[in-house]
Amino acid sequence: MMLRIPSLLTAEEVRECRQALQEADWQDGRLTAGHLAVKVKSNWQLPIDSPLGAKMGNLILDKLGRNPLYLSAALPLRVLPPRFNRYEGGGTYGNHIDNALFVIPGTAIKVRTDVSTTVFFSDPDEYEGGELIVEDTYGHQSVKLAAGDAIVYPGTSLHRVNPVTQGTRYASFFWTQSLVKSDEQRRMLFDLDQSIQQLSMDHPDHPRLSALSGTYHNLLRMWSEA
């Protein structure tokens, strides 16, 4: 399932983060690439131990933790601390599938990459190219969202970032280990949850609400790995 989360960050939060990113010390993104990905990766990243990255990452995690759309779609169990990248001057990241597991820095805790997330810090008219291309069962999905928006999609997807030929593309990226490993099951739970929420708004006294809510939680209990 691919889902846009609009306005995860406010315009003021984006502005402050952008200013910090423009003044940050960057390193070659290939330093964090695997032996195959390093051949197709050409960008810049904040060091994983960057205090600035940790500060902005905590902001993103705080906003996600209070975002009902993300919580319903991702059903997060663990979230890898957000990372940050910069593309410019033809920078690109060719077709790849992300590692299945990452270790949270400074710990022995592993995060399975069930759900990928990108948060945009540059508006589409600020750079040429730079589309996030995700291949799924419905074909190629091209993503280029407004600054402050986020996109979530299955971590199993083949994806790439097209070359940025003009301007600069700033973004954050990270992964979530979901309570529910299967993307298909997460999609069904999300659709059911959204239907329950809509029914509760339109018909708050509907006699079937309790039964539908019970079905949702029983399915979550059945499929959850917590």
Residue positions forming the annotated binding site: 96, 98, 159, 169
Interacting residues of 201 by C-beta distance below 8 A, sequence separation 6+: none
DSSP track, 64-111: HHT-HHHHHHH-EEEEPPPEEEEEETT-EEEEE---SEEEPTTSS-EE
Residue positions forming the annotated binding site for 2-oxoglutarate: 169
Burial status of residue 154 (CB atoms within 10 A of its CB: 0-12, 13-18, 19 or more) = buried
Residue positions forming the annotated binding site for Fe cation: 96, 98, 159
